[in-house]
Amino acid sequence: MSAIAIRRHRGTAQGQGAAGWLFVTPVVIILGLFLLVPILMALWVSVSDWSGSGSPFTAQVHFVGGKNYTQVLNGQGLTAQTFGLAVRNNLYYVLYVVPLQTALSLFLAVMVSRRAMKGRNFFRMAFYFPSVTSSVAITVLWLFLFSGAGVVNKFLSYFAISGPDWFNDPNGLGTKVFHLHETGWLAGGNFLGIDWYQWLAGPSVAMSAFIIMAIFTTSGTFMLLFIAALQNIGEETEEAALIDGAGAWARFRYVTLPLLRPTLYTVITLGLIGTWQIFDQVWIGTHGGPAYTTTTPAYMAYDTAFSGNWGKGAAIAFILFGIIIVMTIMQRLILGEADATKMTRRDLRRDRAQRAASLMALEKTEQGGL
């Protein structure tokens, strides 16, 4: 009977698998048509000399190999230097935005999750509201607030601080804070077409305004993720730590924060992906200026492609895709598994092999008994 039950279980599992594939097939077909096929077409464009007119699959379009990628990455020419500046700008954007938005969203989630806080629902809505507001509207508002005679500079004037002309100032924060100059060894080096001074100058004043805007608009979304995770922890865990004599900081550091690790992993991953894809704010606010200090790879891919260099534009897009993949892998290596209790793929394979061996041994035993 046990062998019969095992075979019946296998048949049921196979039937469920077939039914599952039957239901997901339409979605797979749609994703293939509207996601996979365009990606493959863009990949062909990145290794061809397509001019943008007509079909990229005609006989007039020729295969050029990695020429477009080489011209972007060889560090020579205006395109390579602009790409180096775009990577530098975006890298500083990521290094500032991801940690700050993660810390702020976690802080807001902890604050509005406190039972003693009055008006929690109002504050949750208020903190989340910028996340659902159009990025176009937020960018236009930011252009008004951070203009030379805007509200931000007016506020700074009360503290005897002369604010900059934010979106028209290409100077890096490193040059202003550490008084760096493009002399000596800083003027040497050549990585992606720009010297060490340009790499160490930090984000420009214009880019710093975009950094503040990103933190302001994205923290509310990640706050909701942390709130949901905090609610799943439950009051019993906090009460048990309180009975053991743990203070507020000890409870947060040794109890709450480890339990938030899967959510923290998700927030950082989404933050990395989103910050490397910044486009609409740059396109609306500065068009990559001043002096290319707000240009990002995503904006450069668009600008290059629609300037007639479709091959280079597609190549930049795939290079950006590679950067995102590498950064995500590095983040996983640094943080480890999102859930320490989750089985790894190796453990899952070992577990499946052990189960299969046990079933085979059970079948042999049943057959021998018969």
User: What is the Cα 138 distance to its own chain's centre?
Assistant: 20
Whether residue 250 contacts residue 238, with contact meaning beta carbons closer than 8 Å, is answered with no
Can you tell me which residue has the tokens 């999750």? Answer: 113
pTM of the model: 0.83
Over residues 46-100, the pLDDT tens digits come to 999 998 888 888 888 899 989 999 989 887 777 888 899 999 999 999 999 999 9
Query: Of 222-226, 238-242, 250-254, which has the strongest mean pLDDT?
Result: 222-226
| Superfamily of domain 67-127+170-339 in the CATH hierarchy | MetI-like (1.10.3720.10)
Q: Is the pLDDT of residue 366 over 70?
A: no
In this prediction, residue 250 carries a pLDDT of: 82
Lowest mean pLDDT of 121-125, 250-254, 306-310, 358-362, name the range. Answer: 358-362
Q: Check: CB of residue 316 under 8 Å from CB of residue 306.
A: no
| Interatomic CA distance for residues 122 and 351, integer angstroms | 48
Q: Average pLDDT for residues 192-199, to the nearest whole number?
A: 84
Amino acid occupying residue 329 = I
Alpha-carbon gap, residue 207 to 193, rounded angstroms: 20
Judge whether residue 179 has pLDDT over 80.
no
Which parts of the chain fold into alpha helices (H)? 2-31, 37-46, 67-73, 77-112, 120-132, 135-145, 151-157, 173-177, 196-200, 205-233, 235-243, 248-251, 257-259, 261-275, 280-285, 297-305, 310-335, 345-369
CA distance 235 to 255: 12
**pLDDT value at residue 297:** 95
Per the CB < 8 A criterion, the answer to whether 223 and 127 are in contact is yes
Q: What is the mean pLDDT of the chain?
A: 84
The average pLDDT across 115-134 equals: 83
Q: How far is CA 277 from CA 15, 56, 119, 198, 232, in A?
A: 42, 26, 35, 22, 31
Peptide bond connecting 56 to the previous residue in cis, omega within 30 degrees of 0: no
Exposed e or buried b per residue across 202-238, where buried means at least 16 C-beta atoms within 10 angstroms of its C-beta: bbbbbbbbbbbbbbebbbbbbbbbbbebbeeeeeeeb
Q: Residue 342: is its pLDDT beyond 60?
A: no
- Please report how many Cα atoms fall inside a 13 Å half-sphere around the Cα of residue 274, on the Cβ side: 19
Q: CA-to-CA distance for 10 and 203, rounded, in angstroms?
A: 59
Enter the tokens of residue 283: 């396109």
Residue 351 confidence class, pLDDT cut points 50, 70, 90: low
Q: Over pLDDT 90: what percentage of the chain?
A: 38
d(CA 241, CA 353): 40
Binning pLDDT at 50, 70 and 90, where does residue 339 land? Answer: low
Instruction: Say whether pLDDT at 16 is over 50.
Output: yes
Q: Residue 138: pLDDT above 90? A: yes
> Residue 239: its pLDDT value, please?
74
Q: Residue ranges per domain, the chain?
A: 67-127+170-339
Q: How many other C-beta atoms are found inside a 10 Å radius of the C-beta of residue 45? A: 23
Question: 209, 240 in Cβ contact below 8 A?
Answer: no
Three-class SS of residue 181? coil
Which of 193-202, 276-285, 333-342 has the highest mean predicted lDDT (pLDDT)? 276-285
Higher pLDDT: 332 or 137? It is 137
The pLDDT of residue 1 is 45
* 339, two tokens: 């859930």
Dist. CA 187–CA 184, nearest whole Å: 6
23-46 pLDDT tens trace: 888 888 988 888 888 899 999 999
Q: What residues are paired with 172 via a beta bridge?
A: 204
pLDDT digits (tens, 9 = 90+) for 293-328: 999 999 999 999 998 889 999 999 999 999 999 998
Confidence at residue 267, expressed as pLDDT on a 0 to 100 scale: 93
Give dist(CA 293, CA 307) in Å, integer: 20
Apex 330 CA angle, 329 and 331, nearest 5: 90
